[in-house]
């Protein structure tokens, strides 16, 4: 049994989360897959998985090995399949993309619509999606900050502006023409946001009004779509990425209090990848589509 077969089975089991499903993907029996994993564990000198309810979980050694070999095997898969005789076409490994759910729905899906590429999505905040990339569990991580580790490469994929919005039912009766007027109206009124930390909101208050955040934080919810819905329901004001509230603005459910483009700089977004996985054509196709989006 070649070491390449053992590694391919290891990667399949890692991605499937169980030996049975990994064996099915590799078109081998479950006992054969278990034997391959056992041989690989003897070769690396440690356990690669632990058994859990419903499948297996990788050990720390398993995660390290996966991060090392998965991108290389993905690039070699067409060649390895040909060496197998070419009588069975192996299923294409999906391009694994991590992003916030809101950004994926609004920006990533439209970019992927015309691509003949299989994609597997993972969702989380910035720290989580970059952690997934560092651990080798995804091929591309989309985040508003570039990764710090040298082996990760960041490609700019545009930027997102912000809009200061309030529910139409609780908006001021007269249009507020200046930031000073907005600051006076906002003071003490309810606010809704993604988190209690409010880094962008606090910076906006300091730059726009010359004082610390002074609203009543009524709701903190780690989903921008929920925050936008709370604004539309009249629960409070919020400073949100423009793509999150575009449909609500068009429907008249929320109202823009004042244009803040001169105060809040657009937030850049990056598609981060591992330098080891750069040779896989499907990953390059997705990166190109994301970079070309308006």
Domains belonging to the chain, first-starting first, are 3-83 (1.10.10.10), 95-160+267-292 (3.40.190.10), 162-258 (3.40.190.10)
> Which sign does the torsion angle of CA 189, 190, 193, 198 carry?
positive
Task: Give me the pLDDT at residue 229, please.
Answer: 96
Percent of the chain with pLDDT over 70: 90
State yes or no: pLDDT of 221 exceeds 50. Answer: yes
Express each pLDDT in 99-115 by its tens digit: 999 999 999 999 998 88
State yes or no: pLDDT of 254 exceeds 50. Answer: yes
- Measured between its terminal Cα atoms, the distance across the chain in Å is 49
Q: Report the number of secondary-structure helices (H) and strands (E) in the chain.
A: 12, 12
Separation CA 27–CA 34 (nearest Å): 13
Task: Give me the pLDDT at residue 77, please.
Answer: 63
State yes or no: pLDDT of 136 exceeds 90. Answer: no
In the chain, the DSSP E strands lie at: 49-52, 55-58, 95-99, 119-123, 140-143, 152-160, 162-167, 190-193, 216-220, 238-241, 254-258, 267-274
Task: Give me the pLDDT at residue 293, please.
Answer: 64
> 147 versus 75: which is more confidently predicted?
147
> 178 versus 292: which is more confidently predicted?
178
State yes or no: pLDDT of 231 exceeds 80. Answer: yes
pLDDT band for position 29 (cuts 50, 70, 90): confident
Q: Is residue 161 packed enough to be buried (19+ CB in 10 Å), middle (13-18) or exposed (0-12)?
A: middle
Express each pLDDT in 34-45 by its tens digit: 999 999 999 999
pLDDT band for position 91 (cuts 50, 70, 90): low
Task: Give me the pLDDT at residue 214, please.
Answer: 85
């Amino acid at each position: 049994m070649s070491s390449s077969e053992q590694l391919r089975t290891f990667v399949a089991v890692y991605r499937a989360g169980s030996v049975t499903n990994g064996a099915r993907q590799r078109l081998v029996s479950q006992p054969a897959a278990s034997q391959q994993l056992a041989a690989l564990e003897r070769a690396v000198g440690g356990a690669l998985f632990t058994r859990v309810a419903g499948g297996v979980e990788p050990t720390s050694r398993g995660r390290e090995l996966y991060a090392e070999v998965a991108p290389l095997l993905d690039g070699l898969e067409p060649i390895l399949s040909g060496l197998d005789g070419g009588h069975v076409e192996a299923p294409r490994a999906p391009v694994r993309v991590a992003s916030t759910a809101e950004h994926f729905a609004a920006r990533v899906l439209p970019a992927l619509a015309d691509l003949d590429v299989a994609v597997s999505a993972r969702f989380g905040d910035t720290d989580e999606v970059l952690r997934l990339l560092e651990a080798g569990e995804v091929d591309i991580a989309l985040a508003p900050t570039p990764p710090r580790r040298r082996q990760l490469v960041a490609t700019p994929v545009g930027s997102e502006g912000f809009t200061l919005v309030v529910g139409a039912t609780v908006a001021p009766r007269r249009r507020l023409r200046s930031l000073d007027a907005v600051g006076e109206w906002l003071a003490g009124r309810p606010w809704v946001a993604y988190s209690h930390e409010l880094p962008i909101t606090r910076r906006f208050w300091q730059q726009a009004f010359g004082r610390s955040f002074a609203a009543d934080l009524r709701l903190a919810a780690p989903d921008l779509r929920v925050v936008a819905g709370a604004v539309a329901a009249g629960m409070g004001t919020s400073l949100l990425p423009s793509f999150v509230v575009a449909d609500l603005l068009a429907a008249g459910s929320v109202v823009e209090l004042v244009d803040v483009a001169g105060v809040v700089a657009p937030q850049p977004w990056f598609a981060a990848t591992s330098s080891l996985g750069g040779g896989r054509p499907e990953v390059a196709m997705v990166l190109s589509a994301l970079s070309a989006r308006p």
